[in-house]
Structure 1
Amino acid sequence: MNKRPTIADVAALAGVHKATASRALGPSTSALVNAATARRVRQAAEQLGFTPNSAARSLRTNRSFTVGVLLPDLTNPLFPPIVRGIEEALGPRGYTALLANTDNDEAKERAGFDALRGRQVDGFIVATARREHALLDRARAAGVPIVLVNRRTDDRLLPWVAGDDATGMTLAVEHLAGLGHRAIGHVAGPSSMSTGVIRAQAFRAAAEAAGIGPGAAPVVESEAYTVAAGERATRDLLDRYPATTAICAGNDLIALGALRAARARGLRCPADLSLVGFNDMQFADEFQPPLTTVHVPHLDLGAEAARLLLEQLDSNEEQGTPTPLAKTVLLPVRLVVRASTAAPRGGG
């Protein structure tokens, strides 16, 4: 059996000192090496088939160079871009993301969290946050490095990266009011999640600013961010407020459910009912009709969350004690107007 090549072999082939070769191949130290030298070392490593020994690196640095990522639903199209952003930010630093899907189930979340901690991950990026979240409270108290993405807890004691939900919902209401709609409903996300609450609050404020009273701007809560839950909530809204000419949905999956509920009643979109989603998930432009929605930069959310976690890990290493950096980063959003919205029949 051929002997596995070592860093010493790479250094010899590249004609450099072993320490120089090690620095050239280290994601966080390669910039310290002359570019031409680093390129020669990388070529030597590739020629020999050398791969760094991650276990040895972990022993040297007291880091596993892995990050746990808790996701509520891998089938939801908004989460793969977030994960990709996380991986794109972690990769250059030599980190690997380990994923755990929770299905929004607290027991599965605890099991996934514990399993990842058992693998000695250096920290967590969490997309499963509920407004009140005992697991995250305990983890924070224990000094576990954590960054929240997309959702946050009410206490705001953990770093959090999200799209500007309030501005996004305001843009949606202003768009519909500008088209002439005066009876606009909101099928909101679950009130147990910050996204549901923030978007609902923004909807009410924007409707009031547009001169639309509460009776003409009803809010009905969807029990989940799913197509089926959105369909049920939309049926409820249209039963109670049949004069509604437009709906702002809590997210694109809820919007798809709303579209199904409207069609079941013989309502055409947008001729009888205009519809705005939230997230601009993949294939939203393939809906029939293509969905007007708020675009959230999910890949950037993931990348920024990873950068915040790396910043926290670096700070902890320098100071020797965990120092949670309770930063809030809101990334800009924009309204993407497609064919699911139009002026109401008869001028509203």
Structure 2
Amino acid sequence: MSPRATIADVARLAGVHPGTVSRALNRKTEGQVNAETASRVRAVAKQLGYVPNSIARGLRTSSSMTIGVIIPDLTNPIFPPIVRGIDSHLAPRGYSAFVVNTDGSDATERLLFESLVQRQVDGFIFATGHSGHSIAGEAYERGIRAVMVNRDSRGVPYPAVVGDDAQGIRESVEHLGRLGHRRIAHIAGPPTFSTSQVRAEAFVAACADLGIRGEVFRAPAYSVEAGQSVMDSVLDGSGFRPTAVVAGNDLLALGVYHSLRLHGLSIPEDVSVVGFNDMPFAGDFQPPMTTVRTPHFDLGVESARLLLNQIESSALTALRVMLPVELIVRASTGPAPENPSFD
């Protein structure tokens, strides 16, 4: 096997000093090098297969070149695209991500957080935000750089990158209103999550504006099982008979699908269903699910960008970045039934 190319090899072939190579191949310092020279250095580095040594760079800059990414549930289909977006921004800049999964446990999150602190990560991206998020508050007090993604942590002034959840819910209710629905249930997620609160509040406001009777029902988790359980209780004993359901996410909506079928009801002939997130395969459900598409990959990219900006500027700045969402209309929504079969 041929020996690994070194920075000296690149410098010799490009006809420059090794320090010039180092600056040309570092996005933080490439502007200090003449554009033509930088282009030649990059071409030689590619020719030789030279890869910058991030460990050596870290020793020079007192940086580990690593980022801790804390995810609540890697089995939830929305999080892998977020992680891919994070990595797509970090990798070209010489950073690596340590991704850990908490399974929704605050105790597990604390253990993993401290482990990553001991590994001297340069900052964190939290996807685990909720009201009273103690780890985020503690990290902020300790001056640790971090960004919240998908959810924020109310009361902790970290930057947050989120989708425009309120607009997505409003578009969902307006869509159902145009189809003639006047009784709509919202299956909301846990009240401690900012996403749940924003979506539930937007639902109530949209129904009030449009003269629609809307009722909010809380699920204890963003899961298929929770969605089915809550929808069972709506149909079996709530006294409220909706012709449409707006779910807090696609997993809850899938649980609604299961409940409706067990009760002998058809989608959308008896009840229309709208999800949220447009997770993979939502278009392959039977019927294909109308849902709000959130740009999860872009959320990841933007959260990584904000964090690296913090690291480079050594400043903690509260900033909320909201990315647009889009209602994707499929076959799970249709006209309101004139004579609902469950009345």
Q: Same fold by TM-score, threshold 0.5 exceeded?
A: yes
Structure 2, unmatched stretches of 5+, are none
Q: Number of matched residues?
A: 339
Matched, 1:233 2:225: no
Q: Specify the code of the residue in structure 2 equivalent to 1:218.
A: E
Q: CA deviation at 1:299?
A: 1.0
Secondary structure, in 3 states, of the residue corresponding to 1:68?
Answer: strand
Q: CA deviation at 1:87?
A: 1.4
- Contact 2:137–2:156 (Cα < 8 Å) also in 1: no
- Contact 1:72–1:102 (Cα < 8 Å) also in 2: yes
Residue number in structure 1 paired with 2:320: 328
Provide closer, same or farther for how the CA distance between residues 20 and 347 of structure 1 changes in structure 2, counting only shifts above 3 A.
Answer: farther
Matched, 1:62 2:62: yes
Q: Specify the code of the residue in structure 2 equivalent to 1:315.
A: S
Q: Specify the code of the residue in structure 2 equivalent to 1:342.
A: G
Secondary structure, in 3 states, of the residue corresponding to 2:335?
Answer: coil
Matched, 1:189 2:189: yes
Q: Specify the code of the residue in structure 1 equivalent to 2:165.
A: D
Paired with 2:137 and 2:295, the residues of 1 have a C-alpha distance of: 28
- Contact 2:234–2:241 (Cα < 8 Å) also in 1: no
Paired with 1:73 and 1:12, the residues of 2 have a C-alpha distance of: 49
Q: What is the CA deviation profile of residues 215-248 of structure 1, one whole-angstrom value per residue up to 9, with x for unaligned ones?
A: xx22111111111111111111222145211000
Residue number in structure 1 paired with 2:287: 289
Paired with 2:3 and 2:179, the residues of 1 have a C-alpha distance of: 71
Q: Identity of paired residues, percent?
A: 53
Q: What is the CA deviation profile of residues 170-193 of structure 1, one whole-angstrom value per residue up to 9, with x for unaligned ones?
A: 111111111100110011011011
Q: Specify the code of the residue in structure 2 equivalent to 1:337.
A: V
- Contact 2:190–2:196 (Cα < 8 Å) also in 1: yes
Paired with 2:339 and 2:321, the residues of 1 have a C-alpha distance of: 40
Paired with 1:254 and 1:311, the residues of 2 have a C-alpha distance of: 36
Matched, 1:27 2:24: no
Paired with 2:76 and 2:223, the residues of 1 have a C-alpha distance of: 8
Paired with 1:2 and 1:303, the residues of 2 have a C-alpha distance of: 36
Residue number in structure 1 paired with 2:9: 9
Paired with 2:239 and 2:308, the residues of 1 have a C-alpha distance of: 49
Q: CA deviation at 1:96?
A: 1.3
Secondary structure, in 3 states, of the residue corresponding to 1:70?
Answer: strand
Q: Specify the code of the residue in structure 2 equivalent to 1:292.
A: T
Secondary structure, in 3 states, of the residue corresponding to 2:338?
Answer: helix
- Contact 1:227–1:256 (Cα < 8 Å) also in 2: yes
Q: Specify the code of the residue in structure 2 equivalent to 1:267.
A: L
Matched, 1:300 2:298: yes
Secondary structure, in 3 states, of the residue corresponding to 2:107?
Answer: helix
Secondary structure, in 3 states, of the residue corresponding to 1:277?
Answer: strand
Q: Specify the code of the residue in structure 2 equivalent to 1:237.
A: V
Q: CA deviation at 1:118?
A: 1.4
Residue number in structure 1 paired with 2:336: 344
Q: CA deviation at 1:92?
A: 2.9
Q: Specify the code of the residue in structure 2 equivalent to 1:128.
A: T
Paired with 1:20 and 1:333, the residues of 2 have a C-alpha distance of: 44
Residue number in structure 2 paired with 1:320: none
Q: CA deviation at 1:254?
A: 0.5
- Contact 1:73–1:103 (Cα < 8 Å) also in 2: yes
- Pairwise mapping of residues 203-282 of structure 1 onto structure 2 (< 5 A)? 203-213=203-213, 217-239=214-236, 240-241=238-239, 243-282=241-280
Paired with 2:154 and 2:53, the residues of 1 have a C-alpha distance of: 42
Paired with 1:73 and 1:137, the residues of 2 have a C-alpha distance of: 21
Q: CA deviation at 1:40?
A: 3.5
Residue number in structure 1 paired with 2:110: 110
| 160-169 vs 150-159, greater mean Cα deviation | 150-159
Q: CA deviation at 1:157?
A: 1.3
Residue number in structure 2 paired with 1:319: none
- Contact 1:27–1:94 (Cα < 8 Å) also in 2: no
| 15-24 vs 179-188, greater mean Cα deviation | 15-24
Residue number in structure 2 paired with 1:160: 160
Q: Specify the code of the residue in structure 2 equivalent to 1:279.
A: N
- Contact 2:54–2:94 (Cα < 8 Å) also in 1: no
Q: CA deviation at 1:22?
A: 1.4
Paired with 1:77 and 1:119, the residues of 2 have a C-alpha distance of: 28
Secondary structure, in 3 states, of the residue corresponding to 1:98?
Answer: strand
Q: Specify the code of the residue in structure 1 equivalent to 2:329.
A: V
Q: CA deviation at 1:51?
A: 2.6
Structure 1, unmatched stretches of 5+, are 317-322
Q: CA deviation at 1:4?
A: 4.6
Q: Tell me the TM-score normalized by structure 1.
A: 0.93
Q: Tell me the TM-score normalized by structure 2.
A: 0.94
Secondary structure, in 3 states, of the residue corresponding to 1:346?
Answer: coil
Secondary structure, in 3 states, of the residue corresponding to 2:274?
Answer: strand
- Pairwise mapping of residues 65-76 of structure 1 onto structure 2 (< 5 A)? 65-76=65-76
| 239-248 vs 109-118, greater mean Cα deviation | 239-248
